[in-house]
Amino acid sequence: MSNISKVFKDSLASGRVVLIGYLTAGDPSLEQTRIYAEALVEGGVDVLELGVPFSDPVADGVTIQASAQRALAAGTKLLDVLRLSSTIKKSLKTPIVILSYLNPIYRMGFRKFFEEAGSSGVDGVVVPDLPVEESTEFREEARRAGVDTILLASPTTSEDRLDLILRASQGFVYLVSLLGVTGVRRELSPEALRILERVRARRERPYVAVGFGVSSPDHVKALVKGGAEGVIVGSALVKIVEENLDNPSKCLEQLRSFAARLKEATKF
Amino acid sequence: MAGGYHLPDSRGRFGAYGGRYVPETLMEPLIELEEAYKRLRDERSFREELDVLLRDYAGRPTPLYYAERLTKELGGAKIYLKREDLAFTGAHKINNALGQALLAKRMGKTRLVAETGAGQHGVATATVAARMGFRCTVYMGAEDMARQAVNVYRMRLLGAEVKRVDSGSKTLKDAINEALRDWATNVRDTHYLLGSAVGPHPYPMIVRDFQSVIGREIRAQILEREGRLPDLVVACVGGGSNAIGTFYPFIEDRDVKLVGVEAGGEGLETGRHAASLVGGSPGILHGMYSYVMQDEYGQIRTTHSVSAGLDYPGVGPEHAFLKEMGRAEYVAVGDRAALEAFLTLTRLEGIMPALEPAHAIAYIMDVAPTMRRDDIIVLTLSGRGDKDLDIVSRSLGGLF
Ligand SMILES: Cc1ncc(COP(=O)(O)O)c(C=O)c1O
């Protein structure tokens, strides 16, 4: 059982869903990301998702787009993000998932990437522009390195393709809660509960976590009630970073306390 | 058509290139689009409706014009121009816009989104949206809105909403990102009317097929005029739609040399260019595996070209394949040479080309003199130059 699956198992056994927190690595600097990541874990985040900045993030809304721009301007590279994972893993056992668009990984080479990722303590990888049909070689290399490939499913996914995705996804399956891109939303999309129900109805399936637009403790509560086993919060955390660029200590405090409030909402 | 050449394959690949690298939300819409297209392309009523629109609305067939004075001036091969500048709305873009809009209508969509660089595809889309009663949103980079202001106004007059894109390089690449985001948000009622032979499968195939009317007409027209096929066929390459539409009907004719002309900008050595095939490398952008301009870490580089329509860091996957197979050759021509060619064609033939095909004109100005007088060149003049007069007058430094 992978580290990620184990966190799901243990967390669910103790009456909570898994809280996954996203930060763009290198926004505003790698060192700050390390400090913020530790604050999130102190606040109660169970799995850290570190984003690799990309010039053309088509699945992201304005908040993560701007964050990626800041991280790129600071010179953040894929290898730096892997090094950061390795540094974080020296003091924390928290599983780390890398989120990257495909091209930076392709450019490094799948094998080299997974060797580096494996030796940096990375537990899983999410690639928003890699659908299951194109993922065979990628998953093969991931498996060799003992890294989970986490696939996405969305409200538009057909039953047939959902089968393929649930069979291939490792660690958990990442459910996109809405039609569209990442970003803070006031309301939880009604699509979220529908796709969740469709996945929960399957007998053979990996753990299921919901992301995109999950922005508040209320959203988390609704998802817990809808049967989610994990929740992924991204833009809402990145927004805190963005709003406190000139005040790192306030940022750290807000990240910690927001994570703690989200954590409260993960109980079922 | 092309007997032995049947690409893309069932996975949307041209050899290694192509494929479908998009967020999961877009996978089913792409599959639906592929299925609808494959069903409709052979359906008689669909073909007939499109043919009538191409003829009576877009003004096809466009003429194949013998450029006599340009030929004499260069003193080599006979030069024919395929006059896509005379197609309705001023460029080849209308061929694809009509085809896809009909497809979208049959699929029950009520809204079109599009990206545009030079504004020609945006205008074509806004035009067919008006004609067929679609709501329409066009994304355009802030930089392109400034340099192609007339086209922005045309789109707005036609009733389209033009949305300014301020992210990234503020050009075509970023407009495509925004259009993809819009499509993912509104997939249920919206068709993404992609304007070049790029993007995820099935777009490179669909756009090629709708643009192949250019090459089919050239073939029939040159056979009628000269009794034989040309020796050299030339087109400019941004995303590659007018070029693939021109080349495709000739792929099996090994004696016809195919040359695509990319934007060399300020020179390949400066890095300020948009020549993905000549100066880029394989990578993944906008849902396709093809040649892209990228740095050593896989970040997409900003591009430069005097022509907004060529200012794009990727290229259609079929061109990557044709390059790799050696079936087509790709070259780069810079800003200066394109501007000079613009002026040459204007003065010798009274035809003002768009800056995009002016790059192709510049290329044949180099090669025509080295060819024999009974050799034949056909060049696709993909659009007219009205939209570029501001840039031209600025670049020529108030010369006129
Ligand atoms: C007149 C003209 N030619 C060429 C192009 C480049 O596109 P493509 O390479 O898809 O033909 C454009 C794009 O805007 C254009 O307006």
What CATH code would you report for A3-264?
3.20.20.70
Provide the 10 A C-beta neighbour count for residue B155. Answer: 25
Is there a cis peptide before residue B202, judged by omega within 30 degrees of 0?
A: yes
A180 touches chain B (CB under 8 A): yes
pLDDT of residue B396: 82
pLDDT of residue B397: 76
Q: Which atom number of ligand 1 is nearest to the Cα of residue B198? A: 10
Q: List the single best residue of B13, B284, B285, B286 to mutate versus A (max A Cβ within 10 A).
A: B284
Amino acid at A62: V
Nearest-angstrom CA–CA distance, B230 and B249: 12
pLDDT bucket at B399, cuts 50 / 70 / 90: low
Examine the pLDDT at B98 and tell me if it is beyond 70. Answer: yes
CB contacts of B314 in chain A (<8 Å) are: none
Examine the pLDDT at B2 and tell me if it is beyond 60. Answer: no
Cross-chain Cβ contact A153/B294 below 8 Å: no
Closest-CA residue of B relative to A132 is: B24
pLDDT of residue B311: 95
pLDDT bucket at B203, cuts 50 / 70 / 90: very high
pLDDT of residue B169: 84
Examine the pLDDT at B204 and tell me if it is beyond 80. Answer: yes
For atom 4 of ligand 1, which residue has the closest CA? Answer: B356
Reported as a single tens digit per residue, the pLDDT across B278-324 is 999 999 999 999 999 999 999 999 999 999 999 999 999 999 999 99
Examine the pLDDT at B1 and tell me if it is beyond 80. Answer: no
Reported as a single tens digit per residue, the pLDDT across B356-397 is 999 999 999 999 999 999 999 999 999 999 999 989 998 887
pTM over 0.80: yes
Cross-chain Cβ contact B283/A161 below 8 Å: no
A119 touches chain B (CB under 8 A): no
CB A84 within 8 A of CB A30: yes
Q: Is B142 helix (H, G, I), strand (E, B) or coil?
A: helix
Residue B90 backbone dihedrals phi, psi, to 5 degrees: 95, 10
Query: A82: burial class by Cβ within 10 Å (0-12, 13-18, 19+)?
Result: buried
Q: What is the DSSP string of B174-221?
A: HHHHHHHHHHHHHTTTEEE---SS-SSTTHHHHHHHHHTHHHHHHHHH
pLDDT of residue B147: 85
In this predicted complex, what is the ipTM?
Answer: 0.97
Examine the pLDDT at B156 and tell me if it is beyond 90. Answer: yes
CB contacts of B177 in chain A (<8 Å) are: 56-58
pLDDT of residue A166: 98
Nearest-angstrom CA–CA distance, B232 and A177: 53
The residue among A19, A5, A41 whose CA lies nearest residue A221 is: A19
CB B24 within 8 A of CB A153: yes
Share of chain B above pLDDT 70, in %: 98
Rounded mean pLDDT for each run of 10 residues along chain A, 268 residues in total: 97 98 98 98 98 98 97 98 98 98 98 98 98 98 98 98 98 98 96 97 96 98 98 98 98 98 98
Sheet holding B376-381, edge to edge: B64-66, B78-83, B376-381, B232-236, B257-265, B328-334
Q: Mean pLDDT of all residues in chain B?
A: 97
pLDDT of residue A7: 98
Cross-chain Cβ contact A54/B299 below 8 Å: yes
Per-domain residue ranges for chain A? 3-264
Find where tokens 């301009």 sit: B293
pLDDT bucket at B178, cuts 50 / 70 / 90: very high
Examine the pLDDT at B85 and tell me if it is beyond 50. Answer: yes
pLDDT bucket at B168, cuts 50 / 70 / 90: confident
Convert B69-86 to b/e letters by CB count within 10 Å (16 or more is b). Answer: ebbebbebbbbbbbbbbb
pLDDT bucket at B398, cuts 50 / 70 / 90: low
